[in-house]
Amino acid sequence: MTDWVIVTVKCLAVLFMVLQVSALLLWVERKGSALIQNRIGANRAAIFGIGPVNLGFLNTLIADPVKMFTKEDFVPAGADRVIHQLAPFLALFPALVTFAAIPFGDTVEIAGRTVELQAVRLDVGMLYVVAMVAMGVYGVVLAGWASNNRWALLGSVRGSAQMISYEVALGLALVSMVLTYDTLDLQQMVRSQGELTLGFLPAWGIFFQPVAAVIVFTSGMAESKRTPFDLPEAESELIAGYFTEYSGGKQAAFMLADFAEIVVVSGLMTTLFFGGWQVPYLTSAGWKLPGLDLLPVAGWLVTLLQVGAFTVKVLFFCWLQILIKWTVPRFRYDQLMNLGWKGMIPVALLNLLITAGLVLLLAEGEA
């Protein structure tokens, strides 16, 4: 019974963490883009006809969803009704469940049990992430096809070609990370990043695999279809791309999926390259700076610091992605494909080859 409660609480916590951060990102995007473009942005709303009043970020967090969910739910003539209804959920589902494999803290003791701060600990955690990323294509493809709209279909064709192309580079870069850590288990990867290398540097993935970090971040952004990779939407060419024919709540579902994907990419970057929940030099006993004495820290404080560090890192990468979106202009389609197939994939392959060679050399050195 207690086990069931713990698992349920963990799953709900992760789900709501992704949803909350996604909702916050909606506000960050609206106000952040305004900041970048030197305007004020959304700052007032009339609630039940009273106002307009400025409620700070509550405006966007409450007014925007209320607006979206009270709009007419429109299905275009000639659309495939069932698939048109299904597509937003197919887009949202993979984005929300991917985070289940990402660890957000070390273990804690609850009711005599050691609980991993991770929704599900999977032996094949990395493959699970790749599998769920691969599922994300369906929402895009089906939304465009079911809408019976030329622009939407063009958007979904672009979207699926882009996502499949960048999945290859992403997968190859992830394989080199698997070789580096010698495991597919994401929690194990984070654990091994808690050690020190050369006696003083935290053994974070970025120091071993900077090339893979760039590839994972870039193809992650391409997977989430945001500027400079937003050709599937391309509002100046395709109206709104694959979700042109969606309105109200279903359009909100596509937006939410986009933001959830940002959170997932950030979580993946944090876990693989920036030490996950590790705070530099903080062990379960306390703070141990190289060359200095151990500074004892209470166990609950260590857990809190670690979960806090994970959150800060994830939020940083979310902000970085929004910053990039509003700074860099959109690629042309041939540039996008060239970057994917002639740039990222060869570099990722070379990186994998070098990694494999080094791992083999080091293993023979030990034997």
Partner 1 sequence: MSETAFYLLAIPTVLAASGVLLLRNPVHCALSLVVALFLIAGSYVALDAHLIAALQIIVYTGAVMVLFLFVIMLLNLQPDPDEGAHVLAKLGAGAAALGFAVIVGAIVGEWFETAPPPAVLAADFGTTRGVARTLFRDHLTAFELTSVLLLVAVVGAVVLAKRDRV
Q: How far is the CB of 323 from partner 1 (least distance, A)?
A: 30
Of 285, 162, 157, 270, the closest CA to residue 217 belongs to 270
Answer whether the bond into residue 296 is a cis peptide, omega within 30°: no
Which spans of this chain sit near partner 1 (rule: CB under 8 A)? 80, 82-83, 122-124, 127-128, 130-131, 134-135, 137-138, 141-142, 145, 153, 157, 160, 164, 167, 184
Q: How far is the CB of 184 from partner 1 (least distance, A)?
A: 5
Q: Tokens 């109206």 identify what position?
A: 239
- Looking at the Cβ atoms of 135 and 307, the one nearer to partner 1 is 135
Listed in order, strand segments (DSSP E) in the chain are 45-47, 50-53, 107-110, 113-116, 196-197, 201-202, 286-287, 295-296
- Looking at the Cβ atoms of 141 and 309, the one nearer to partner 1 is 141
- Looking at the Cβ atoms of 17 and 157, the one nearer to partner 1 is 157
Contact between 144 and 138 (Cβ < 8 Å): no
- Looking at the Cβ atoms of 160 and 244, the one nearer to partner 1 is 160
3-state helix, strand, coil split of the chain in percent (to 5) is 65, 5, 30
Q: How far is the CB of 67 from partner 1 (least distance, A)?
A: 32
CA distance 44 to 53: 5
Count of H-run helices and E-run strands, the chain: 14, 8
Q: How far is the CB of 170 from partner 1 (least distance, A)?
A: 12
Q: How far is the CB of 125 from partner 1 (least distance, A)?
A: 9
Q: How far is the CB of 147 from partner 1 (least distance, A)?
A: 12
Which 8-state DSSP code applies to residue 50? E
Of 359, 315, 310, 321, the closest CA to residue 177 belongs to 359
- Looking at the Cβ atoms of 152 and 265, the one nearer to partner 1 is 152
- Looking at the Cβ atoms of 131 and 350, the one nearer to partner 1 is 131
